[in-house]
């Protein structure tokens, strides 16, 4: 698929930055950074549905940052763990809609682990994250 201008590959240089990392995507203001292998897959005629779901997830963050203003969003995202978790749930929810529509399962265990991990500065327990994710899945 043709990607919008603001979706950018992390290339090989950004992979060396610790927090930006190799395996995760980020939405930074108007820009969405994705790992290079995912970027390449998204440009093919039939990208992996999980990669499309990831793009939807990041698009949601991008939209929210635009609505709130990047500085305000970043401030809350960094200092308020509750806000951070809620924003993640919002983004996950949009991705879940796509997954459900395409009858693709959601890995609750893996996602709950990730959402409760150091990547997000341990906002919630894994059990809580899993419970909330299941609630959202039932809603979409």
Residue ranges binding Zn ion (CB under 5 A): 88, 91
Nearer to Zn ion, 53 or 91 (CB): 91
Planar angle of CA 7, 68, 11, nearest 5 degrees:
20
- Compute the least distance from the CB of residue 21 to Zn ion, in Å: 13
Nearer to Zn ion, 44 or 72 (CB): 72
- Compute the least distance from the CB of residue 45 to Zn ion, in Å: 27
Pairing of strands 31-34, 26-28: antiparallel
- Compute the least distance from the CB of residue 88 to Zn ion, in Å: 5
> What does the alpha-carbon distance between residue 116 and residue 64 come to, in Å, rounded to a whole number?
21
Tokens of 89: 């749930």
């Amino acid at each position: 698929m043709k990607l919008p201008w603001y979706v950018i590959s992390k290339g090989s240089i950004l992979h060396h930055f610790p927090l930006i990392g190799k395996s995760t995507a980020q939405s930074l203001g108007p820009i969405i950074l994705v790992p290079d292998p995912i970027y390449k897959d998204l440009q093919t005629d039939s990208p992996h549905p999980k990669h499309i779901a990831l793009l939807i997830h990041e698009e949601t963050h991008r939209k929210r940052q635009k609505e709130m203003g990047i500085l305000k969003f970043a401030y809350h995202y960094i200092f308020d763990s509750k806000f951070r978790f809620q924003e993640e749930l919002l983004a996950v929810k949009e991705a879940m809609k796509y997954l459900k529509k395409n009858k693709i399962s959601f890995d609750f265990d893996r996602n709950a682990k990730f959402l409760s991990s150091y990547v997000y500065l341990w906002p919630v327990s894994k059990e809580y994250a899993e419970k909330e994710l299941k609630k959202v899945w039932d809603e979409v």
